[in-house]
Structure formats: C-alpha cells, structure tokens
Amino acid sequence: MNAVVVAIAVMFALSLARVSVVLTLVVSAIIGGLVAGLSLSDTVQAFNAGLGDGAEVALAYAVLGAFALALSKSGLPDLLAHKLIGILGMEASQSQATKVKYLLLGILLISAIFSQNLIPVHIAFIPVLVPPLLKVMNHLKLDRRAAACVLTLGLVGTYIFLPVGFGAIFLEQILMGNINKIGAAYGLHVDRWMMPAGMAISVLGMVIGTLFAVFVSYRKPRIYQDREIKPITTIDLDKPLRATTQDEQQQLHQQNDTLQQDAEELKQEAQDVPKISRKVMLMAILAIILTLVAQLYSGSMILGGLVGFAVLSTAGIFKWQQADDVFVQGMRMMALVGFIMISAAGFASVMTHTGDINQLVNSVVHLIGDNHALAAFLMLFIGLFVTIGIGSSFSSVPVLAVIYVPLCVQFGFSPLATVALIGTAAALGDAGSPASDSTLGPTAGLGVDGQHDHIWDTVVPTFIHFNIPLLIFGWIAAMVL
C-alpha cells in the first residue's frame, strides 16, 4: 500500500477523533515512514530534517503575532471593533438582523483580503478583531461555520489570485519559479500575467462555494451562549465545547428573552468608545505602513513584523519595560500555529523521503492513457491528498511541480492550463486541512469562547465548500485554457 495514502488516512482518523494536531502529524509521519519500509531511526531523522523548513514560517507568524498584539495596545483595533459593535448592535435592535449579518460577513471578508496584502499580518488579525464581535454574532444567531468559510476565502482566495503581498510569494516566487525552473528542460515557460489569469477560474469556484455556504448551508440561525472569552494565550483548538446537542439547544432557546437585553448592552458599549489620542493613532497607522513597506521591500514577513513592533514600541504606546512581555505574549498567541507548521514540515519531509509520492503519481499515469480529461482530474485529486497532508499550498508546489510539469507537457496542456493545474492542485486541501493556518486562524478567533470546534466547525465546512468547487473549476480551467 502507498505510504502517502496510509499516512494521510491515519491523519484524517486521528483528527476526526480530536487528537492534538501536532501529535497527529508526528504519529502519521512515523506510520507513513514505516509503511514505506524506512526504519524508525530513518523516519525520525527524515522528520527532524524537515523541521527547519517550517521554522522560518513559524518565526514569521510568531513575530507577526507580537506585532498584532502590540498594535492592539494602541487601541486602534479596539476602536474599530467598538465602532463596528455600535453600528451592528443598533442595526440589529431595529430588526434588521439579516442586513447586519451580511454586513458583518463582508467586514470579515475585507479584513481577510487586506491581511494578505495591504496589512500583511496573515491570520494574526483574527484573534484581535474577531473575539470582540462574537457577542454581535451571538445576538444575530449567525452560524460561525459561515464566518469560517468567509474568512478562509479571504485568506486563501486572495493569495492564489492577487500577486501582491503573500500572493506575490505564492504566485511569482513559488509557483512561477518552480514551473520555469523545471519547465526549462521541457521548453515550457510561463510569465507573470499568466499567474492570476490561470488561477481566476479556480478562485471563482471558491467564491461560489462561499456563497453556497452563506446562503444555503449555514443560512439558518444557530444559538450560542454569551460566555466569558478565554485569554487569547490559552486558546484550546483541540477540545472546544460545542453548542449543538439537543439539550444545549433547549437550554439556549430558554435564554432567548435575555437576547433582547443584549441590544441595549451593545448600544451602551458603543457609547463607551475607547479614547485614543491623535498621536497614538498616527503612530499606529505609520507602523502599519512601514510594516507593509519593509515586507514588500525585503520580502521578509519577519523583518516587516519587527519594524512594525519597533515603531509601536518607540512611540510610547506601551511602556518600554513592558516591551518584552508584549512581544512574548504576542508570540505565544501564535505559538500553536507555529508548532503545527513546523510539524507539518517534518511530515512533508518524511513523505518525500518515502519516495511514494512519485510512485503514487506514476501508478496513476498508467491508468490515464491518452485521456486528457481524466489526466487533469487525477492530477488535481492527487494534489488534494498531497496538500491536505502537508497543510500548506506553499510547501506543496515544489513537491507537485517536479512531477506535474513533465506530465503537463506530455499530455499537451497549455502554459495557462499548467499554471491552473499545479496552482489549484497545491491549493486543494489547504482550506480543508487540520494543520493549515487557513483553518487554524479562523478557529483561533471564532473558538475563544469554546463554542466553535476546529474540526467540525472549520475544517469540515471549508473542505466541503472549497475543495469540491476547486476540483470542479480547476478541471474546467485545465480544459478550456
């Protein structure tokens, strides 16, 4: 049996059983290595060898977490949240819940889009912006699974389509770079303009999947309790409570009368707007701008986050003696995501060392023959298995490109179709992987009060509403481009 398939199957089973994601990746990697015939020591060595590949990403997230927490000290995110709570709360009290619900989802989508380019903090904005809005969501009875899908669309759909910020890294440095490097031996070359053009149809599929989630799958009200939010540094992604049992629903329905009081509380909170001086606001905005400039100029998210933190620190937004505590707490906020990304890199290293990725693809080639349509579908389907195991479309491109570029040339796919196939194959599984930052991020914000499950409320909904459309629309792109 193919070791990659076995390892990913084990990962699925352990994840659905709510085993810790880090432990799941380690156990799955070891089982995959042993199935492939590697010794235990060789498997562990391969796993350790890959840990360094995830260290840079983990450090980048940690630094951006520190920057995000430092930015929150300025009061700017709180001011924005209070403004939103005021607007949304008053609107809801006027029996315009539907309008407000879609306005709130639109705000989450725009914030997620901007987090990939304008303010490149990636998922670090979610634990800062989302928790203050949970009370509004509860009052609107908004199904948080819809919010998770909207956030994931803004995160993934943006960087696989817009070549700015994180998108420039994925589309130009990784996708275009790997295709041209490997394609040089086969006479294949792609240009920058082909990157967004090749991915446009696939992104359209993600948009349609999100619309289906919001207006069909999760349009019905879902009841949540107003619970005290845990400190942001103690988020438990693995064992959250869920308000979905019949008993819980009955208890929560009995509390409907108290929801009317929430509107009045929201109005009162809206009047208590946090005070923030013009100087502090200007320095916070300057820190955001310099963070963006530093990241774009150097290509380093780590440097960008450090520049932003340094500006906020020297601006006197918090005491100099508190700088170390703020930095450490911010890093701790993203620590779990960092450890998962490092573990995912080790898992990917073991899968590569087994050699079964090539075997998996090559065994499928014999079944394809000259069937052009079947070839496109199977390449996308295999990409789903590879990416959902690795948990990162960024890390999947180099693995897939080595095999897929020769296959695309062999089957006569155009350069645009090649971009669509490899880019979509890498994106497949990112949204639906338990180890992906695109699912961990929404859970970190929506699950702080223990009522949003990482697997069943983020991973499964995004897998259904993104991976299925990506398979369909990625196949269409390969056929028509």
Given a contact cutoff of 8 angstroms between Cβ atoms, the answer to whether 237 and 443 are in contact is: yes
Q: How many whole angstroms separate alpha carbon 369 and alpha carbon 380?
A: 17
Residue 290 is assigned to a structural domain of this protein: no
**From 88-102, 281-295, 409-423, the region with the lowest mean pLDDT:** 88-102
Q: How many whole angstroms separate alpha carbon 410 and alpha carbon 223?
A: 54
- At residue 228, the pLDDT reads 61
**Which residue is associated with the tokens 């502090």?**
280
Total domains, the chain: 1
Question: What confidence tens digit (pLDDT) does each residue in 79-134 have?
Answer: 666 666 666 555 545 456 777 888 889 988 998 898 777 766 677 678 777 877 88
- Residue 178: closest CA among 375, 156, 170: 170
- At residue 320, the pLDDT reads 64
The set of residues, in sequence order, having a beta carbon less than 8 Å from that of 157 and lying 6+ positions away, is: 203, 206, 207
- Taking phi first (over 0 means left), then psi (-120 to 50 degrees means alpha), and beta for anything else, what does residue 406 get? alpha
Residue 17 is assigned to a structural domain of this protein: yes
Given a contact cutoff of 8 angstroms between Cβ atoms, the answer to whether 139 and 266 are in contact is: yes
- At residue 201, the pLDDT reads 94
- Taking phi first (over 0 means left), then psi (-120 to 50 degrees means alpha), and beta for anything else, what does residue 165 get? left
DSSP output for 1-29 = --HHHHHHHHHHHHHHTT--HHHHHHHHH
- At residue 208, the pLDDT reads 95
CB burial string 161-199: b at 16+ within 10 A, e below: bbbbbbbbbbbeebbbbbbeebbeeeebebeeebbbbbb
- At residue 247, the pLDDT reads 55
Given a contact cutoff of 8 angstroms between Cβ atoms, the answer to whether 81 and 132 are in contact is: yes
Question: What confidence tens digit (pLDDT) does each residue in 417-427 have?
Answer: 999 999 998 88
Given a contact cutoff of 8 angstroms between Cβ atoms, the answer to whether 196 and 161 are in contact is: yes
For residue 50, pLDDT over 80 is answered with no
Residue 312 is assigned to a structural domain of this protein: no
Residue 324 is assigned to a structural domain of this protein: no
Residue 281 is assigned to a structural domain of this protein: no
Confidence label for 259 from pLDDT (cuts 50, 70 and 90): very low
Given a contact cutoff of 8 angstroms between Cβ atoms, the answer to whether 323 and 2 are in contact is: no
Beta-sheet strands, E only, within 103-226: none
* C-alpha 276, offset from chain centre: 31
Residue 296 is assigned to a structural domain of this protein: no
**From 56-65, 238-247, 370-379, the region with the lowest mean pLDDT:** 238-247
- At residue 426, the pLDDT reads 85
Given a contact cutoff of 8 angstroms between Cβ atoms, the answer to whether 88 and 142 are in contact is: no
Domain that holds residue 123: 3-276+335-480
Phi, psi (deg, nearest 5) at residue 254: -65, -15
For residue 260, pLDDT over 60 is answered with no
Residue 238 is assigned to a structural domain of this protein: yes
What DSSP character marks residue 304? H
Residue 288 is assigned to a structural domain of this protein: no
**Model's pTM, two decimal places?**
0.69
- Residues written for the chain: 481
- Residue 195: closest CA among 465, 12, 424, 448: 424
Question: What confidence tens digit (pLDDT) does each residue in 137-193 have?
Answer: 888 888 899 999 999 999 889 988 988 777 877 888 778 888 888 888 778 888 889
Token pair belonging to 439? 């699912």
For residue 206, pLDDT over 90 is answered with yes
